[in-house]
Amino acid sequence: MRFDPAADRALLATIRPTGQAPARGPHGPPARFARSRSPSMQLLDAVMRLAGPHADLLRHAERPWASATFQGTRHTIAMCFAGPEGLTSGEAFVTALPEHEFTIARQIVADAAVSEVDQIMLPQPHLTVEVELLLLEDC
C-alpha cells in the first residue's frame, strides 16, 4: 500500500488530538473533518463516525480506480481501538461495516470490507483494524 506521508500529516492535523473532546458540528454531532466537502473526506468522516469515539485514525490512503463503466477511488483506512471499551467498539465496527449504508453526495460506496484485524491484549488491550472501501461516482 502506498500513501503520501505529507498528506497524512495534513490529514492528521485536522483530527482531534488524543484525549481532547471532538469538535461539534453545526447540528450537534462531532465533526472530525469539519468543512471538508470532498467525497474522500466525507467517506473518511462517515467511517470514523461509524467506528465511534474510541477509534483513532492511523492512516488513510486513496488511489484511483476505474472499470469499463465506472470510475472512482479505492480507500484503505487503518484505525486503532484502545482499552476495553475500544475493543468492544472495534468489534461492533468490524461487524457493522460490510452492511452499513453510507450517504456520500454524488457517490456510491460499492464495496466495504475489513481487510485486517490485529488484537493485542498486553501490556494494554488494543485492536487495529484496516478496511478497504470502493467509492464510485454516481452518474
- In order of their start, the domains of the chain are 36-137 (3.30.2000.30)
Provide the CB-side half-sphere exposure for 52 (13 A, CA). Answer: 15
Say what the pLDDT of residue 97 is.
Answer: 96
32-46, 75-89, 98-112: the lowest-pLDDT one: 32-46
Mean pLDDT, the chain, rounded, equals: 83
- For range 79-91, the mean pLDDT: 95
Q: All 3 cell numbers of residue 34?
A: 469539519
Q: Is the pLDDT of residue 11 over 70?
A: no
Query: What is the side-by-side order of every strand in the sheet holding 126-137?
Result: 55-66, 71-82, 126-137, 107-120
81 touches 130 (CB < 8 A): no
Mean pLDDT of 1-11: 51
Distances (CA, A) of 17 to 12, 25, 34, 59: 9, 17, 15, 14
Mean pLDDT to the nearest integer, 25-48: 70
